[in-house]
Amino acid sequence: MENLGVTVKRLSQTRWGAHCDAVKPVRVNFEKLTSALEKLCNAKENVDTRGSAQMLLSAVCDFSFLCYLSFWCEVLEEVNITQKYLPTVGLTLEKCIVKLQGLKAFLADQRSEIVEKAICYATTTCKENDISMERRGRVKLRKTMPGEKAKDAGLTLPEEMKRARFECLDRFHHKLEIHSQAIEKILSMFAVIQPNSLVVVIEKDIRNYTPKLTEILDKSSNEDIFREIERLRRHLEAAKISVEEAKKWTALQFLEFIVKWDYCESLTNLSLCLRFFLTLCVSTASCERSFSKLKLIKKIILLNHE
C-alpha cells in the first residue's frame, strides 16, 4: 500500500508471529490507514470498492477495536518472543519451562498495566480522530426474573472493555498454565535421562527419578537403568568427553553418541527412553503442515487421475 509503506500480513493459525506482524502495523500506521480508506470511499471508485472501504472504515474507527488493537500488540509481542525462542535447536525442557514461566509472570505482573494502557490508547486516539466513544448497536439487557431484585451493573463502555480485557488475560494465563504443567509432567517423567542426570547427578537422586520412568517400561527396573547410566558415564570417559562438555549436550546428542559407538545393546533402556523422549517433544507445527501439504498433493493426484 503506497500510502502506508507496508503490506497486508497474512494470518496463520499455527504461528503467533503472523498475528503479531498483522496487528502491529495497523496500530503504528492507524492514521495513514484511515486516510487511505477515506480516499477509497471517494465517488470515483466503483460501488464494491466504496462499500468495502466504508464497512472497513466503520469497523476500525471504533473504541472497542482500538482497545483490542493496543491490547493484542502488547500481549502478542511477548508471545512472539517466546514462540521464537522455543524452537531453538538444542533447547532443553528446563529452559522452555523457565521461558514460559517468564511469560506467565509478565501476564500476571503487567495485567492491570496492559489493560489500562489499552483503554488510554483507545481514548486518546478517539479524541484525536474525532471518533465516537458511544456504544454501537442495541443495548442488550438481561431479563429480570420474577422476584429478582438485582439489576445489571450498567457498566460504561470503557469499564466493559476493561472487564473483557481482564477476562482475556485470565483465560490466556489459564491455557498457558495447562501447557506448562504438561511440559513439567514430561520433564518429571524423563528427568533421569536429562543431561545433568546422565552425567553428574548422584546415585540417591537418580533412584528417585527412575520409578516414574519404569512405569512406561514394562521389562525394566530401577537397577537396570541405574547400571546403564553408570555404564554410559564410563563410555563417555573412555571416549575422552569431559563432564563439562557432556553437560551441554542435548538428549539427541546423547542418543547420537550411543548409536555412533554402537552401544545400543549395552544401553538398551537408555536408548529406548531417549527415543521416546525425543518423539514426544515436538514444539513446532511443522509436522502438521507437512501432513496438510501431503493431503493436498494427494488430492491433486487423485483429481488428475480422474
Amino acid at 113: E
For the CA atoms of 82, 87, 93, 98, what is the dihedral angle to 10 degrees? -10
Question: 176: Cβ–Cβ under 8 A, 6 or more apart, which residues?
Answer: 100, 103, 104, 107
63 within 8 A of 87, measured Cβ to Cβ: no
Of the listed ranges 61-75, 102-116, 194-208, the least confidently predicted one is 194-208
pLDDT digits (tens, 9 = 90+) for 139-158: 555 566 666 555 555 678 88
pLDDT of residue 283: 47
pLDDT digits (tens, 9 = 90+) for 233-268: 999 999 999 999 998 898 889 999 999 999 999 998
Average confidence (pLDDT) over 45-72: 89
32 within 8 A of 57, measured Cβ to Cβ: no
Query: Exposure of 167 by Cβ count < 10 A (0-12 exposed, 13-18 middle, 19+ buried)?
Result: exposed
Domain boundaries, the chain: 1-61, 90-134+155-188, 190-280
Is the pTM higher than 0.75? The answer reads no
